[in-house]
Amino acid sequence: MKKKIAIIGSGIAGLTAANLLKTNSNFEVMVYEKESTLSLEEGYGIQLAPNSISILNKIGFRNIDNNNIYNPSKLNFYSAENNKICDLNLNRFDFETVKYTTLKRSTLIEFLKNKLFENHMKFGKEVKKISRIKGKLLINFIDNTNDLVDFIIVSDGVFSKTKSIIENKIIKPRYSGSIAIRAVIKASEDFNYESQNISLVMFPNSHIVIYPINKKNDLNLVCIVRQKLVKNIDIQSVIKKEILNKNNNLESLFQSSLNSWPIYVTNKPTKSIYENVFYLGDAFYTFIPTMAQGAGQSIEGANELFNLLCEGSEKIQSLYFEKRLKRTKLINTRSKLNYFSFHLSSPFMIRTRNFMLKKITKSEKFLNSYLGNIYQKN
């Protein structure tokens, strides 16, 4: 008998899991999405390190149109005054068709969606209740439809409402203390950085990351700024206070339409009360985005879960949870350290950080353990 699997949420996590599960005929998969369509309008970028590309290649990512992705070879670090501190060679983590890749988030979602048949996805579906019936799980949706399944993968993002419903308690993420300001800009002649690589510019209290997202001169700009949580944020005055007051040569970066979002993070991951429910992606744990690994971990988690489900082990939940927890802790520590060191304000600390950065970006030993451990898994 085929095992029925319901996936709640069609973000990068849910869609990757569905694509992997679809390759095994022992599974019958359905993705349930709250929204009425997939949002493909969003042009903002995403960075994917080799750990996630090697998994995406299993479902055909290497055949994606090359014009819609980019493979930067370096990460350049800059001071607030635009002085280049040092660079990190990203190629050292690449192998054959598995390369550090940047692209539009919507390009990735479209690729993942195109691999699924229409009959693997249902839209406008939100969970009302989940109950156990003879070892299976009955899902009742708000629109009064239902499904009886063997496993549920919950991948409905950082605010995961489904998690609160299943665990029967209110589970809320917390504000990280920073907002993200994003824009897509064009690489023009007066662009201050290398448009074919990733640029990281560090200020006291904020940092900017800019990278190419295709071969059409589009660049993703994301600015992470420490900021109190307020309802109506004046993006231009935040940019002026935190960036332009420290370097007014950067005005041209902020001419296009800007959007901002508060960044939320989740508390410690927990197992579900049901053995056949698994949390995946941001619903499992949401990182502060200073290691660019949230989507990468969604993809890795989907792959781990897929392998365990294929093996048919009886202790899938514990095995999955322990593996994921270990990985999450490792990446979380690095994400927090990056967050702290990117935003230093004391001149002494900044000098020390820059000195250290120059050293460690050339140290094989350090790079292998700090980044290699993360980028070269799988």
Ligand X SMILES: Cc1cc2nc3c(=O)[nH]c(=O)nc-3n(C[C@H](O)[C@H](O)[C@H](O)COP(=O)(O)OP(=O)(O)OC[C@H]3O[C@@H](n4cnc5c(N)ncnc54)[C@H](O)[C@@H]3O)c2cc1C
Complex with ligand X: residue 280 or 350, whichever CB lies closer:
280
Q: How far is the CB of 11 from ligand X (least distance, A)?
A: 2
| Segment contacting ligand X by CB under 6 A, of 110-118, 150-158, 328-336, 344-352 | 150-158
Determine the Cα–Cα distance for residues 212 and 123; give it in Å rounded to an integer. 32
Complex with ligand X: residue 214 or 298, whichever CB lies closer:
298
Q: How far is the CB of 362 from ligand X (least distance, A)?
A: 24
Q: Which residues does 121 contact at the CB level (< 8 Å), separation at least 6?
A: 10, 18, 30, 31, 33, 113
- Find the binder of ligand X among 87, 88, 294, 309 (CB under 6 A): 294
In the chain the first and final C-alpha atoms are separated, in Å, by 30
- The residues in 90-129 that bind ligand X, with binding defined as CB under 6 A, are 126-127
CA nearest neighbour of 15 among 3, 31, 27, 26: 31
Complex with ligand X: residue 162 or 361, whichever CB lies closer:
162
Q: Is 19 exposed, middle or buried (0-12, 13-18, 19+ CB in 10 A)?
A: buried
- Find the binder of ligand X among 281, 285, 327, 361 (CB under 6 A): 281
CA nearest neighbour of 266 among 289, 290, 282: 282
| Segment contacting ligand X by CB under 6 A, of 2-10, 63-71, 190-198, 365-373 | 2-10
By CB under 6 A, residue 295 contacts ligand X: yes
Complex with ligand X: residue 178 or 350, whichever CB lies closer:
178
Q: How far is the CB of 204 from ligand X (least distance, A)?
A: 20
Mapped onto helix, strand or coil, the DSSP state of residue 315 is: coil
- The residues in 247-266 that bind ligand X, with binding defined as CB under 6 A, are 263
Segment holding 350, helix H or strand E: helix 347-360
Q: How far is the CB of 199 from ligand X (least distance, A)?
A: 14
The pair phi, psi for residue 311, each rounded to 5°, is: -70, -25
| Segment contacting ligand X by CB under 6 A, of 67-75, 87-95, 236-244, 281-289 | 281-289
What dihedral angle (degrees, nearest 10) is formed by the CA atoms of 255, 258, 264, 269?
Answer: -90
Largest CA distance in the chain: 66
Determine the Cα–Cα distance for residues 138 and 166; give it in Å rounded to an integer. 11
What is the identity of the amino acid at 149?
V
Q: How far is the CB of 312 from ligand X (least distance, A)?
A: 25
By CB under 6 A, residue 334 contacts ligand X: no
Complex with ligand X: residue 208 or 283, whichever CB lies closer:
283
- The residues in 3-42 that bind ligand X, with binding defined as CB under 6 A, are 8-14, 32-35
- The residues in 299-328 that bind ligand X, with binding defined as CB under 6 A, are none
- Contact by Cβ (8 Å): 115, 19: yes
What is the identity of the amino acid at 303?
N
Measured in residues, the chain has a length of 378
- Find the binder of ligand X among 76, 101, 107, 155 (CB under 6 A): 155
- Contact by Cβ (8 Å): 122, 24: no
- Find the binder of ligand X among 107, 293, 303, 335 (CB under 6 A): 293
- The residues in 40-69 that bind ligand X, with binding defined as CB under 6 A, are 46-47
Determine the Cα–Cα distance for residues 207 and 298; give it in Å rounded to an integer. 24
Determine the Cα–Cα distance for residues 322 and 319; give it in Å rounded to an integer. 5
Complex with ligand X: residue 9 or 350, whichever CB lies closer:
9
Q: How far is the CB of 75 from ligand X (least distance, A)?
A: 12
Angle formed by the axes of helices 294-311 and 316-342, nearest 10° = 170
- Contact by Cβ (8 Å): 302, 280: yes
Complex with ligand X: residue 94 or 156, whichever CB lies closer:
156
| Segment contacting ligand X by CB under 6 A, of 56-64, 79-87, 156-164, 336-344 | 156-164
Binding site for ligand X (CB under 6 A): 8-14, 32-35, 46-47, 126-127, 155-157, 161-162, 180, 222, 263, 281-283, 289, 292-296, 298
